[in-house]
Amino acid sequence: MSLYPQTHAFGQPTYPAPTYPQPGPPAYPYQQTPAPPPPVYYVDPNTFRRDYAARLAQLTINSRPIIQTLSMVAQEYSRWADIVVQCLEAHIRRVPPYMKLPSFYLLDAISKNVYDPYARHFAPFVVPLFLETYQQVDQTTRSKMEEMLLTWRTGAPTGKELFGFITQIAIERGVWGGDPGVADISKAQVLSELEFTLSQKERAVQANAWDHESRKHVEVLQQLRSLVEAGVSQDELRQILAQLRSLSQSTAPPAPAPAPAPPTYPQPSSSSYSYPSQPSYPARPSFVPPVVHHSQPQSYQYQSTDQPKSEPVDLSSLLSTSSSPAASTSTSTAPSNIAGLFSALLKAGIVSATGTPVGAGDTAKAEDNTPQPTSQGREASRAYRKAILGQKIKLTNADITRKRPSIVHFMYERLSVQCKQCGIRFSDDALGKKDMESHLDMHFRQNRKANQNIGRGHSRSWFVGLEDWVHDSSTDYKGKGRADGSRPLNAKASAAAEAANREAELRAQFVVVPQGDEAKTISCPICKETLKSEFLEDDEEWVWKNAVKKDDRIFHATCHSEALTSVQSLAVRLRNEATGRSRSGTPEASSSRASPPKEAAALRTSISPTSESKRAGLKRKVDDYSSSDVTAKNDNDGTPPMKKLALAA
């Protein structure tokens, strides 16, 4: 920094008004806002240009803090918008493909948050820049760029296209080909729009796990996605697209209205722009159009998108049960959309399912959407079934040798989340995430076990006996397999699965660490071991894992439940044992020994309701599965003994 002015500063007419930044920040108004990000205050554009470029160079990964900082600087120095824009353009063009996406996120953030004057500065070159980048990056990045592109449609504070209609159309045409809405609509375009809608919905589900409606919508959208992927005709694509688009357009305008006209910079804690700090698995950059700020229009939009897809019966029942005003608004304001989209979807479904575009409407409607609540897994496998059966392949020599590239979709695209350890893939929906988590847990356990076993040596096991082989339902060799309880297992396996489920559920409980207590270590009063704190990426909070809070004390959820169970059934025996045990020689030890049951006994009254309700929740879950599953009925009948077993465990 200092070199430059010293050699060229004086008598260089090409560098207007060079000054030293070192002499100390002049007492400009900026000083009273000592915001941490921009520590240096610029007085001349050249210094600013150099510094901004240098900061940009740090944007090598998708880092939210960096993007925020850069975006804030851009906001503060909007008088030098042209410099920011030039730097950013040069940066995007210069960096290798894998670093381009974060830069685009920055462009996006600046354009949306500061809008004026940046959007119009970017507009002239954003088309070639976007398309060139799009050509260079890999498939994952592309889909993220598509996602971003979709948010641009309504990205302006007015709810219009962020960079103007012409620009938007030009990019979309470049990405998806054709002239959207007029000529050919590519499958890719519909898919990415669907994907976009879907990801918004999934976020809603993540934000509120009990939002069953959203959950259902996700499923329906996924189903729709597989339908589209399986292949529908141009006409249906157009219809679906038109419906999706008209919906989002009709909902978009009201959204920005409540937004204050001068765009404000989102606080770091705001979740509207979540730039994931690491680009690994859960890092789905959540690009949310401004609409998202207003939950009401948002849900309204989705209700009208999704309800049509559940069958009419469902719709009315939903309406009657739903107390949310959003649901009723949706139906009252957009009935035409519902009807239109419904028919479009129905058609799409039938076409992909049977290949006979006419006459099958009624039957398809009747069976595609079973009114009973179905589990997510069921829904997902149903969608998969549709997609697979939509493939027109028969087991004949001619069909097998005929080339069809759809395998890539089923093997790769449909399963977009990949384990970095072993390459196994999972779908990107809630279910897939759950599977991925348990898969990663398995890796973790395996690594831990491997570390414990060092130097001990391994050997080949004997094969299992015939009886075990025939009757073991292969669920639990490595603790992996279907823990969804939907399979008819034998009693022992189901009891074990139940216990494992319960344990997993306990372990998943957490207590949010109070502000300021992050560094404090606390230990479980029962086992005296330290509670582990962990940062939850999704919620952005420090939590204690495997923890419950009772009477202002934090327990391990597992310890607590164990103590609870034992107290309920074995309190007396435990107490006897504790006092009668000879090896607890020291008074201290004996007192600590005796404490758990006492503690638990004291807690019993206050706790039992929650644990009761938890068990009820478990039970309900079992019911959910079995109600849609005839074969699991037997299991369900066997619940009481199972429960007993689990309690005794």
Partner 1 sequence: MQSDSKEWVLDAETEYRFELDPGASLAIKLVHGQAEVFGAELAEGKTYLFGSECKAAIFTWQGCTLEVTGHASTEYVSDETPMAAYANLHIAFEQMRVRALRVVHGSPASDDDSDANAEPPRVLVLGPDNSGKTTICKILTNYAVRAGQNWSPMLVNVDPSEGGWAVPGAISAAPVQSPLPTASPANPLGSAATSAPTALSSNALVPLSYWYGHPEIKRNPLLLDRLIRNLGENVRDRFDGDPEAHTSGLIVDTPSSFASGPTSGASTDSRHSLIKACVDAFKINVILVVGHEKLNVEMQRLYGSRLTVLKIPKSGGVVELDLPYRERVHNYQLHTYMYGQKIDPPPGISSAILGGEAVTDLILSPSSSIISFNDLTLYRIGAESMAPSSALPIGAARTVSEMQPVLVDPASSGSGLLNAVLALIAPFNPDEAERYDEEILDLNVIGFLVITNIDIPNRKMTILSPNQGSFAGKTAVVGSFEWQE
Of residues 131-170, which lie at the interface with partner 1 (CB under 8 A)? 138-139
Among 469, 491, 573, 617, binds partner 1 (CB under 8 A): 469
The kind and range of the H/E element at 226 are helix 212-230
Return d(Cα 502, Cα 649) in angstroms, integer: 11
Region of residue 521 (phi > 0: left; psi between -120 and 50: alpha; otherwise: beta): beta
- Minimum distance, C-beta of residue 125 to partner 1, in the bound complex (Å): 28
Q: In degrees to the nearest 10, what's the CA dihedral of 199, 202, 206, 208? A: 130
- Minimum distance, C-beta of residue 356 to partner 1, in the bound complex (Å): 9
User: Which of the residues 57 through 76 are near partner 1 (CB under 8 A)?
Assistant: none
Based on the shown chain and the rule CB under 8 A, indicate whether residue 520 belongs to the binding site for partner 1: no
Among 182, 183, 313, 389, binds partner 1 (CB under 8 A): 389
Take residue 430 and report the two structure tokens written for it.
């809630």
Query: Based on CB atoms, which residue is closest to partner 1, 19 or 370?
Result: 370
CB 72 within 8 A of CB 112: no
Query: Based on CB atoms, which residue is closest to partner 1, 4 or 410?
Result: 410
Based on the shown chain and the rule CB under 8 A, indicate whether residue 320 belongs to the binding site for partner 1: no
Q: Where are the alpha helices (DSSP H) in 472-585?
A: 491-508, 557-580
Per DSSP, 210 falls in state T
Q: CA nearest 377: which of 84, 62, 626, 54?
A: 626
- Minimum distance, C-beta of residue 222 to partner 1, in the bound complex (Å): 12
Return d(Cα 244, Cα 235) in angstroms, integer: 14
Q: In degrees to the nearest 10, what's the CA dihedral of 92, 98, 103, 109? A: 140
Query: Based on CB atoms, which residue is closest to partner 1, 29 or 457?
Result: 457
Q: In degrees to the nearest 10, what's the CA dihedral of 296, 297, 298, 301? A: 130
User: Which of the residues 477 through 496 are near partner 1 (CB under 8 A)?
Assistant: 477-478, 480-482, 486-488, 490
- Minimum distance, C-beta of residue 309 to partner 1, in the bound complex (Å): 16
Based on the shown chain and the rule CB under 8 A, indicate whether residue 313 belongs to the binding site for partner 1: no
Based on the shown chain and the rule CB under 8 A, indicate whether residue 443 belongs to the binding site for partner 1: yes
- Minimum distance, C-beta of residue 314 to partner 1, in the bound complex (Å): 16
Query: Based on CB atoms, which residue is closest to partner 1, 17 or 630?
Result: 630
- DSSP per-residue string spanning 398-422: HHHHS--TTHHIIIIIS--EE-TTT
Query: Based on CB atoms, which residue is closest to partner 1, 278 or 631?
Result: 631
- Minimum distance, C-beta of residue 313 to partner 1, in the bound complex (Å): 15
Based on the shown chain and the rule CB under 8 A, indicate whether residue 358 belongs to the binding site for partner 1: no
How far is the CA of 473 from the CAs of 95, 180, 388, 477, in angstroms?
Answer: 52, 51, 26, 9
- How many residues touch partner 1 under the rule CB under 8 A: the total is 87
Q: Is 444 buried (19+), middle (13-18) or exposed (0-12) by CB count in 10 A?
A: exposed
Take residue 544 and report the two structure tokens written for it.
């204690």
Query: Based on CB atoms, which residue is closest to partner 1, 408 or 536?
Result: 408
Query: Based on CB atoms, which residue is closest to partner 1, 592 or 628?
Result: 628
User: Which of the residues 448 through 467 are near partner 1 (CB under 8 A)?
Assistant: 449-450, 453, 457-466
- Minimum distance, C-beta of residue 287 to partner 1, in the bound complex (Å): 24
Three-state SS for 135-153 is HHCCHHHHHHHHHHHHHHC
User: Which of the residues 601 through 630 are near partner 1 (CB under 8 A)?
Assistant: 628-630
User: Which of the residues 521 through 580 are near partner 1 (CB under 8 A)?
Assistant: none
Return d(Cα 519, Cα 359) in angstroms, integer: 67
Query: Based on CB atoms, which residue is closest to partner 1, 442 or 649?
Result: 442
- Only one of the segments 45-53, 108-116, 470-478, 510-518 lies at the binding site for partner 1 (rule: CB under 8 A); that segment is 470-478
Per DSSP, 117 falls in state T
Query: Based on CB atoms, which residue is closest to partner 1, 138 or 538?
Result: 138
Return d(Cα 326, Cα 323) in angstroms, integer: 9
Return d(Cα 251, Cα 289) in angstroms, integer: 12
CB 307 within 8 A of CB 331: yes
Return d(Cα 489, Cα 512) in angstroms, integer: 37
- Minimum distance, C-beta of residue 501 to partner 1, in the bound complex (Å): 16
- Only one of the segments 6-14, 54-62, 260-268, 473-481 lies at the binding site for partner 1 (rule: CB under 8 A); that segment is 473-481
Query: Based on CB atoms, which residue is closest to partner 1, 195 or 484?
Result: 484
Region of residue 516 (phi > 0: left; psi between -120 and 50: alpha; otherwise: beta): left
User: Which of the residues 413 through 432 are near partner 1 (CB under 8 A)?
Assistant: 414-415, 418-427, 432
User: Which of the residues 8 through 67 are near partner 1 (CB under 8 A)?
Assistant: none
Among 2, 14, 401, 605, binds partner 1 (CB under 8 A): 401
Q: Is 12 buried (19+), middle (13-18) or exposed (0-12) by CB count in 10 A?
A: exposed
Among 183, 339, 393, 616, binds partner 1 (CB under 8 A): 393
Query: Based on CB atoms, which residue is closest to partner 1, 418 or 565?
Result: 418
- Only one of the segments 129-137, 266-274, 394-402, 567-575 lies at the binding site for partner 1 (rule: CB under 8 A); that segment is 394-402
Q: CA nearest 206: which of 286, 151, 277?
A: 286
Query: Based on CB atoms, which residue is closest to partner 1, 388 or 645?
Result: 388
Based on the shown chain and the rule CB under 8 A, indicate whether residue 631 belongs to the binding site for partner 1: yes
